[in-house]
Structure formats: structure tokens, C-alpha cells
Amino acid sequence: MLEVNGIDVYYGSLQIIWNVSLRVESETVVLIGPNGHGKTTILKTIAGLLKPKKGSIKFNGVELTTLPTHKIVGMGITYIPQDIRLFPDMTVMENLLLGAYVADAWKNRRGRLKMVFEIFPRLNERKNQLARSLSGGERRMLAIGRGLMSNAKVLLIDEPSCGLAPMLVKDVFEKIKELKERMKLSMIVAEQNVRYLPEIADRVYLIESGRVVLEGPTDEVLNSERVKETYIGM
């Protein structure tokens, strides 16, 4: 279980996150809310890229806030950023293998690679192409596939629909749903597009102004007056 308890997070002297708590078990949790209100900051803090000024983050009882990012990755928590950050002049295969740089992941790289290609067959078809030649949806799938190569137990996926055409968004969410069903991964997904959330989310947290303002089962949160008026336009 991943537990975030009462964290405050700052950029310099500017506080971005206020007393945020959340938990993730064997499930998919989605963070929704406006741009610039803290969803990405929460994911980066869990991944160790930012350190909270207050509060704790524990994974299976181990405190993460004192650990460097590579140790957190080694424990099975992988962050997939919104801007993807592939190596454009390396092939699809080379990008995937870089995801397995953790020692335990490298030992299992062949099995993981087989699994990634089963879930993302287009990556197998394009494994010898440069990453820069892929479409936006394929680059997103490669970023997720590279994250899976690290022996991930928890995936932190930031804005998977960002910048994609509607049909590509559908494809990406179908793949996230397949990960959820086939691999039983725990996932935290930060996302503004609420259309596909009922297919992937077990629970939803609404983040506004760096605070959790609503939390609960997906149907309950999406059917709340606050979400319907502000995010669904009803």
C-alpha cells in the first residue's frame, strides 16, 4: 500500500500542496482538477523528485521522503511525466531497455519486454525505429512501456491524454485499462479529461488549489454537483 499523509510541498518559498493525504492499494486512483493546482506536484513528490516540508509518504510501511529517487524506483514506483522525455535519437528498443536499468529489472528484462510488446504491439512493429519518428500516441505508449520495464509495482502517470487527438486519447486509455486488468498494477493517474475515467478509476481525488477537496468512489465523485458543474459542464 502507498500512503501519503498530510504533506505540504513548496517550490522555493511558494507553497503548492497543503496537507494532502491519499492512499493507493491494488487499484487505480485518478487525480482530477484544473491545470496548475498541484496534481503533477503530488506525483513528483511521491516519486522523490520533490521533498515535502511536512508529512510522510510510505510504501508498504517504508518511509520514502528520506530516499533518493533511484531508490524509490528500485522499490517499484515509477513516474511517467506529462512531457514524456524519451530519447528521440535512440530506437524504441533502446528506450525500452533504458527503463530496465535497475539491477532487478535488468535480470527480468526479457520477460518484461515480451509483456510490453504483448500490450503494445505497435511498439514491437516499430522497435527498430527512432523514437522521434513515432506518432504522439505511440510516444505515450513507449513512455508507459519504458516505465513498465522497471518492474513497476506502482505507476504514476501524469496527464496521459495531454496533446493527443481524441482517437489517440481513446487508444491510450484502453491501454491503461488493459494494464489495470492484466497486470493488477497499482496506478495513480493525474488527468483532466474525465470522459474515460469510469473505465479505469476505482477512486477519484479532486485537487483544487493544492488541496484535496473531494474524494471517493469514481461514480460518487463524478456525479457530485461540484464536478458536474465545473468539469463536465452540466
Low-confidence ranges of the chain (pLDDT < 70): 103, 231-234
pTM, rounded to two decimals: 0.90
Q: How many helices (H) and strands (E) does the chain have?
A: 11, 10
pLDDT (0 to 100) of residue 84: 72
pLDDT (0 to 100) of residue 112: 87
Q: Which three cell numbers stand for residue 175?
A: 491501454
SS3 of the chain: helix, strand, coil, percent, to 5: 40, 25, 35
Dist. CA 95–CA 49, nearest whole Å:
21
Dist. CA 85–CA 65, nearest whole Å:
24
pLDDT (0 to 100) of residue 234: 41
pLDDT (0 to 100) of residue 43: 97
Dist. CA 132–CA 102, nearest whole Å:
25
Dist. CA 48–CA 93, nearest whole Å:
27
